[in-house]
Amino acid sequence: MDRIRVDLSGPPQTMLATLYAKALDADAPNSILRDRYAKAAVDRIEYDWAATTIDARRAPSVAIRSAHFDNWARQFLAVHDEAAVLHVGCGLDARVYRLGPGPGVRWYDVDYPDVIGLRDQVYPQRANYRMLAASVTDPAWLDEIPADRPVLFLGEGLTMYLTKDDGLALLRRVVDRFESGELQFDAFNTFGIRTQAINAVVRRSGSTLHWGIDGPSDIVEAVSGVRVLAWESVFDSATFELVSPYVRWIGRAMAAVPALRYMSQYHRYAFGPVEAGKSCAPDGVAPVRLRRNSMAHKEILEPNAGHPITISPTKGRVQVRVNGELIADTTAALELKEATIPGVQYIPLDDVVQERLTRTETVSYCPFKGDASYYAVTTSAGDTVEDVIWTYEQPYPAVAEIGGHVAFYPNKADISVSAE
């Protein structure tokens, strides 16, 4: 089979670097994505891959971003088995093949015509899948998507290449067209945009980055009708734990500087009515830091047959360790079960080592439970884990029992339940 020659520049050229990173990751002993489609695509394309500046050491740092959005997409599709997925600025990402969505999902990959033309040569056809050749900022392509089902807008590696006006207009069009869904994308902050000259992949492609997003308030206050599900730094994400110890050490050092910590971020928003049986926030996903006035308009929902919430005493002893240190120990925990979410242990505050806690500025909101506040934990060794604890200080009446209790994020703490 003849190899395919490519001649790309600007943003489309950067997709070759990410593709090559996934192909290198596929060959790694501890592969993160196991993306055999990326490896096959690299084998088909004739290109000077060394020019991407990507090597085996850097590949995991690219793969973890895709793994993160794979996880979020799986969460959405697990409860929306007849959704439409808009994979916008898809490049040569093989996500539709990695995830293998069910027969009820309609998947659309959207990118420039030359990118779609290349995709058509390197990837196989599949059912309920369509490629749209268009600039993502062109309003016309969205008119081709039926608006009769929940939508997942997925923009990995996209927003920073758009202008602020174009990016916000794109998000607004999606929210206006569909009744409900999610927006999932990553972003650089303003500092990341200003320092783009040090980004080798961007520099070598001749691209220019434009839009810096400094937090979810930039989106919530500009796109009517969206609510935040998650916002986190790459360094705080669960998939960052998959990189090498050396890279994690560098990440911890960078995370100590706010401008660097949020230079690269993951954003997740919902819009439309909260559906029965669907979580108001994904379990185990980092909380949201918002200016409090951004949360002034709140919807309040009661648990019901479609979205049940039960609270019962936990049978046994619950212990929680953060970085190996015992922070909570109780036989009086309450287990809250909500819809299809795994049970969460709520621990009396009196059974927590409170001198290790520091309240943060982070808040989040659940229409079934109320406003949540967050705490960091600083261990005796001096290690601080941000936003590891959340608590509903004034929970809604339906869940009043969890007042005076705290819960720990399972991806930031070790939680064990043992029989007494």
Q: Which residue has the higher pLDDT, 274 or 189?
A: 189
pLDDT confidence band for 203 (50 / 70 / 90): low
350-403 pLDDT tens trace: 999 999 999 987 777 777 888 888 999 999 999 999 889 999 999 999 999 999
Query: What pTM does this model have?
Result: 0.69
pLDDT confidence band for 74 (50 / 70 / 90): confident
144-177 pLDDT tens trace: 999 999 999 999 999 999 999 999 999 999 999 9
The sign one gets for the Cα dihedral 80, 84, 89, 94 is: positive
What value does the mean pLDDT of the chain take? 87
Q: What is the DSSP letter of 135?
A: -
414 has a pLDDT exceeding 60: yes
- Residue 213: φ, ψ to 5°: -115, 120
Tokens at 265, concatenated = 């971020």
Q: Give the DSSP H or E segment for 326.
A: strand 325-330
Tokens at 345, concatenated = 């242990």
Edge-to-edge order in the sheet of strand 151-155:
129-133, 106-111, 84-88, 151-155, 181-188, 264-271, 226-233
Among 103-107, 195-199, 266-270, 329-333, where is mean pLDDT lowest?
195-199
| Pairing, β 405-408 against β 309-313 | unpaired
Tell me how far apart the alpha carbons of residues 135 and 167 are, in angstroms, rounded to a whole number. 12
Burial 92-113 (b: 16+ CB within 10 A, else e): bbbbbbbeebeeebbbbbbbbe
Among 96-105, 131-140, 194-203, 379-388, where is mean pLDDT lowest?
194-203
307 has a pLDDT exceeding 80: no
Closest by CA position to 286, among listed 357, 338, 234, 220: 234
- Full set of structural domains in the chain with CATH: 11-271 (3.40.50.150), 309-418 (2.170.150.40)
257-298 pLDDT tens trace: 888 888 899 999 999 876 544 555 544 444 444 433 333 345
In angstroms, the Cα distances linking 343 to 138, 312, 339, 373, 409 are 44, 10, 10, 20, 12
Tokens at 142, concatenated = 């969205």
Q: Which residue has the higher pLDDT, 349 or 282?
A: 349
The sign one gets for the Cα dihedral 22, 24, 30, 36 is: positive
Alpha helices in 256-349 (DSSP H): 258-261
Neighbouring C-beta atoms of residue 329, cutoff 10 Å: 14
pLDDT at 283: 46
DSSP state string for 39-59: HHHHHHEE--GGGG---TTTH
